Chain A
Amino acid sequence: MAKRPAGTLYRGKIGMWSWVLHRITGVGIYFFLLVHILDTALVRVSPEAYNSVMHVYKTPIVGVAEIGLVGAILFHGFNGIRVVLIDYWRKGSKYQNQMFWVVLAIFVILMAAWIPRQLMHTFGE
């Protein structure tokens, strides 16, 4: 059997999987954006309409789902910087692997700071 190519920039291993994750998180954020523009537009309908839709955001299910949303945004954003560096920095493609681990480290640190705060707000009081 032919040896499978692996470890190149976009085929196999980290290069490919970060690309897949970038796409999945992007699609998720896109559909949330559509919903979020519509729910915010309710401020122009009436204060009651807006407050009632905001009530949904304060429920435990949406509060926990929001952790996923923020996670998707953080990964997509910081991996996006990695993509820009791969494109524009002379040594970008050489260090794309290491840059992925930096992205992941930033992601873990920010999530560790954000998750307890969001859980406190969602389940507190």
Chain B
Amino acid sequence: MSVVIEQPNQPRSRKSAQWEKRAWVFMRVSGLLLIFLILGHLMVNLVLPERGVKSIDFAFVAGKWASPFWQVYDGIMLWLALIHGTNGMRTLVNDYSEREWVRKTLNVSLWVVATALIILGTLVITTFDPCIDPDVETYLPNVCKP
């Protein structure tokens, strides 16, 4: 079945209209927050360290995630960015897919991927042990050194 384009003046069910409006507002609110979160993320990881991207290794990340501030920061960024990105992709899929089953399959895949990565990312941030390998000095952030 090909995709049926709704008449613009065709009344939607109240529930689906509200859901779409919430998604629309979410894109704007999360987008504005993500500008600050991502610019901060780029500054702290790529611009401010003396050696830029070359400063980043396990000890660098462990040093950040030893602090609840960065755990919460990265957690919020993970959730907002994935939901914002997935909803944006859903918009494109709805615009460009011509067959109904393709559209449905792509949209379901998008949310499956998003859910899996949100669970994975949240688990990684919350269960992470910065002092994982006390025998290897170079893996340790300063907080773990005796």
Contacts and interface: CB of A to CB of B under 8 A. Distances in A.
Interface in B13-51: 28, 31-32, 34-35, 38-39, 42, 46-47, 51
Contacts, number: 98
B38 A121 contact: no
A80 B35 contact: yes
Contact size range, A: 35 or more
A interface secondary structure, majority: helix
Interface in A67-108: 70, 73, 77-78, 80-81, 83-84, 87-88
A26 B124 contact: no
Contact of B56 (A26, A57, A83, A120): A57
Nearest to B130: A43
Specify which of A43, A70, A87 lies most central, judged by the most chain B CB atoms within 10 Å of its CB.
A43
A23 B31 contact: no
Contacts of A120: 52
B124 A40 contact: yes
A84 B28 contact: yes
Contacts of A78: 35
Nearest to A26: B88
Contacts of B54: 58, 121, 125
Contacts of A54: 56-57
A44 B28 CA distance: 33
A44 B62 CA distance: 10
A34 B85 CA distance: 10
B57 A33 contact: no
A120 B52 CA distance: 9
Nearest to B139: A47
Contact of B58 (A41, A47, A87): A47
Contacts of A77: 31, 34-35, 38-39
A15 interface: no
11 contacts: A27-B89, A40-B121, A50-B57, A54-B57, A63-B53, A70-B42, A84-B28, A84-B32, A120-B52, A121-B51, A121-B54
